[in-house]
């Protein structure tokens, strides 16, 4: 069946270092892969997405890499800051219109000052 | 603040009672989604609307759950005869669907339901 999952449940990073959060997916039919950030007491917040025909996409301090050969997605955060501490979810959807988003279980990122 | 509001933020109810949650999306957004999230897990899709039409319902949405969006603006999610397994965070999201392009979903803060 469809599933999106993460390799590591927790990640601790020193402030200023780069963070890499990984995700494995099983549904090759996904059209978009998305990263969300969820802070305590808040709903998920869109960070960046990547279309399935792309390998890399960059945003502000974030880069998403997609390796379709091994069905692997990663989120790189440059110069990690305390405000980056949150749970990060990879997710997938089909079609151009995000009909429904299927989330993975999440990785908790802790930034050590 | 994403512009999506949910009410109430917290709800404690006894098993067997009915509860209703409200979501107010971003005003120009024509799509509205409901998700459920349990502790330590990612949100699970429940249902979504385009304007007032309910276009998809998850198998997770049992007969005790009903969602409406009568005028294509705010939405309500009702759970009848609540069970302890219904305890979760109920998230609402909205997006603007246009021909072509991607439609980022903006999430509200959620309603935390506790069934005792």
Q: Could you read off the pLDDT tens digit of each residue along chain B, which spans 116 residues?
A: 889 999 999 999 999 999 999 999 999 899 999 999 998 889 999 999 999 999 989 888 889 999 999 988 999 999 999 999 999 999 999 998 877 666 789 999 999 999 99
What residues of chain B lie within 8 A of the CB of A45, using their CB? 2, 107
Return the number of CB contacts < 8 Å for A and B. 62
What's the number of CA atoms in the CB half-sphere (13 Å) around residue B7?
Answer: 6
What residues are paired with A109 via a beta bridge? A11, A86
Q: Any chain B CB within 8 A of the CB of A29?
A: no
- Contact A100/B45, CB-based, under 8 Å? yes
Backbone CA torsion sign across A48, A82, B41, B14: negative
Chain length of chain A: 113
Question: How buried is residue B20: exposed, middle or buried, by Cβ count under 10 Å (0-12/13-18/19+)?
Answer: middle
Distance (Å, whole) CA A80 – CA B29? 33
**Model pLDDT for residues A16-35, shown as the tens digit of each residue:** 999 999 998 877 788 889 99
Cβ atoms A2, A102 nearer than 8 A: yes
């Amino acid at each position: 069946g469809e599933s999106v999952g993460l390799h590591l449940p927790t990640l601790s990073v020193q402030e200023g270092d780069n963070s890499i959060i990984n995700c494995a997916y099983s549904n090759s039919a996904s059209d978009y892969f998305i990263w969300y950030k969820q802070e305590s007491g808040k709903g998920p917040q869109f960070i960046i997405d990547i279309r399935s025909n792309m390998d890399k996409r960059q945003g502000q301090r974030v880069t998403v890499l997609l390796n379709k050969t091994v069905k692997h997605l990663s989120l790189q955060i440059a110069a990690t800051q305390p405000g980056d501490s949150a749970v990060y979810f990879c997710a997938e959807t089909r079609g151009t219109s995000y009909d429904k988003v299927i989330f993975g279980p999440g990785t908790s990122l802790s930034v050590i000052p | 603040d994403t512009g999506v509001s949910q009410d109430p933020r917290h709800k404690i109810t006894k098993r067997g009672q009915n509860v209703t949650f409200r979501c107010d999306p971003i005003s120009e957004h024509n799509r509205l989604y409901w998700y459920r999230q349990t502790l330590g897990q990612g949100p699970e899709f429940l249902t979504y609307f385009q304007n007032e039409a309910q276009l998809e319902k998850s198998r997770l949405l049992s007969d005790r759950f009903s969602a409406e969006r009568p005028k294509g603006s705010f939405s309500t999610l009702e759970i009848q005869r609540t069970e302890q397994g219904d305890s979760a965070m109920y998230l609402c999201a909205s997006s603007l669907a246009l021909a072509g392009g991607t439609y980022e979903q903006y999430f509200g803060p959620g309603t935390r339901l506790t069934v005792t």
